[in-house]
C-alpha cells in the first residue's frame, strides 16, 4: 500500500500482541497476512508477566519464561522472513499485558494493534473481556480483535456507519483494506426502533455518502439499511453477506476509565465469529 497521509486509513505499522497460546493463533495469521497485503512493517510483542517481588522470589522461573518468549519471537520472526515481511520483535516485562501493549504501540507509532480474542463462554458471550476492552480504550490507534480460528478476510468486508465522524473514520479504514485485499465492501447503517424519520434519512444518507466517495474506485460497494439493535443487525448482516471482517468506529477515550464497556463495538466483538476492527 502506498504511504498514506491519513492516520485513520493507514496500515503501515502493525503491532501484533501475542501470548503464544492457541488464542493468539488467529491474530498471528491475520497480522502476518495483513502486513504482506499492505506492505507494512510488523512489530511482534510478547509480554512476560512479572513484578519485582516475583522476580526476587523465583528468578529462575522468570528467566525460563523470558527464554520461552524469546524462542517464540525468534520463530515467528523467521516465518515473517520466509513471507517477505519485515518484522521487529519486542520483549517487555510488566504486571499487566494491556499496559505493555499500549506502551509498545505508542513507542513504535503503530497504526493498528492486532490481538487475539479468547473463546466465549455461554454466560459471557456478549463480553469481549476486560483486557481487550482496556487495550481498545487506552490504545493510541485502531485495534483489530481476532478470534482464534479467524483468518485474513477473503470474501467481503463490512463497515457499520451512522454518518458520524466515527462512522466516516471506519469507512475510510474499511475502504483502504478492501482496496488492498481486492474485496467487495458492504456498508450497513442501522435504524434503531423509535428513531424519527429524520434519523432514518440520515442513515440512508450515510450509506450514500460512502458510495459517492468510492464512486470512481474499483471497490464493489453494497449498501444495507435495516432496523433493530445495532450490534445484532451488524453481526446478522455480516453473516448474510458472507463478510469475514467487520469494521466499526470506537467511542474513543471516554470517562475516567476510558473503556468501551456496554458500547456497540464491545457487543459486536462479543457476538461476531469473525475479526472486528475498531477504528479510533
**Residue 128 is part of a domain; what is its CATH number?**
3.40.50.620
**Residues 165 and 263 both lie in one domain:** yes
Q: How confident is the model over 187-202, as a mean pLDDT?
A: 83
Residue 242 counted as domain residue: yes
Same-domain check for residues 131 and 178? no
Is residue 139 located within the same domain as residue 179? no
> Based on the domain organization, do 112 and 225 belong to the same domain?
no
Q: How sure is the predictor about 241, in pLDDT bands with cuts at 50, 70 and 90?
A: very high
Residue 222 lies inside a defined structural domain of this protein: yes
Who has greater pLDDT, 253 or 213? 213
Q: Is residue 52 part of a domain?
A: yes
Residues 17 and 142 in one domain: yes
Positive or negative, the Cα torsion across 21, 23, 27, 30? positive
Average per-residue pLDDT for the chain: 86
> What integer is the mean pLDDT of 30-46?
94
Section 220-244 average pLDDT: 95
The total of structural domains in the chain comes to 2
Are 21 and 115 in contact by the 8 Å Cβ rule? The answer is: no
Do residues 253 and 271 both lie within one domain? Answer: yes
**pLDDT: is 105 or 280 the higher one?**
105
Residue 4 has pLDDT above 50, yes or no: no
Predicted pLDDT of residue 2: 41
Cell of 97: 499485558
Please name the residues in contact with 96: beta carbons below 8 A apart, sequence gap of 6 or more.
49, 131
**What mean pLDDT comes out for the span 107-133?**
71
As a whole number of angstroms, the distance between CA 94 and CA 88 comes to: 19
The structure's pTM equals 0.87
Same domain, 88 and 175: no
pLDDT at 1 over 60: no
> pLDDT digits over 245-265, tens only?
999 998 644 433 444 444 788
Range of the domain at 53: 13-147
Element at 59 (helix H, strand E): helix 59-83
Amino acid at each position: 500500500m502506498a504511504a498514506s497521509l491519513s492516520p485513520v486509513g493507514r496500515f503501515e505499522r502493525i503491532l501484533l500482541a501475542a501470548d503464544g497460546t492457541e488464542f493468539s493463533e488467529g491474530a498471528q495469521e491475520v497480522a502476518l497476512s495483513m502486513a504482506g497485503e499492505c506492505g507494512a512493517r510488523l512489530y511482534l510483542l510478547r509480554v512476560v508477566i512479572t513484578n519485582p517481588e516475583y522476580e526476587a522470589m523465583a528468578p529462575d522461573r522468570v528467566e525460563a519464561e523470558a527464554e520461552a518468549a524469546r524462542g517464540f519471537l525468534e520463530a515467528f520472526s523467521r516465518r515473517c522472513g520466509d513471507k517477505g515481511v519485515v518484522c521487529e520483535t519486542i520483549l517487555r516485562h510488566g504486571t499487566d499485558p494491556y499496559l505493555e501493549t499500549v506502551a509498545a504501540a505508542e513507542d513504535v507509532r503503530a497504526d493498528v494493534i492486532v490481538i487475539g480474542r479468547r473463546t466465549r463462554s455461554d454466560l459471557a458471550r456478549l463480553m469481549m473481556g476486560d483486557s481487550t476492552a482496556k487495550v481498545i480504550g487506552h490504545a493510541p490507534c485502531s485495534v483489530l480483535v481476532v478470534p482464534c480460528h479467524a483468518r485474513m478476510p477473503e470474501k467481503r468486508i463490512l463497515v457499520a456507519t451512522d454518518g458520524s465522524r466515527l462512522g466516516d473514520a471506519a469507512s475510510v479504514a474499511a475502504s483502504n483494506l478492501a482496496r488492498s485485499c481486492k474485496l467487495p465492501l458492504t456498508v450497513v447503517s442501522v435504524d434503531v426502533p423509535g428513531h424519527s424519520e429524520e434519523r432514518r434519512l440520515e442513515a440512508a444518507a450515510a450509506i450514500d455518502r460512502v458510495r459517492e466517495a468510492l464512486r470512481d474506485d474499483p471497490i464493489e460497494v453494497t449498501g444495507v439499511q435495516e432496523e433493530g439493535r445495532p450490534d445484532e443487525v451488524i453481526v446478522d448482516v455480516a453473516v448474510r453477506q458472507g463478510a469475514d471482517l467487520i469494521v466499526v468506529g470506537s467511542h474513543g477515550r471516554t470517562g475516567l476509565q476510558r473503556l468501551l464497556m456496554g458500547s456497540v463495538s464491545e457487543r459486536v466483538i462479543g457476538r461476531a465469529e469473525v475479526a472486528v476492527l475498531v477504528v479510533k
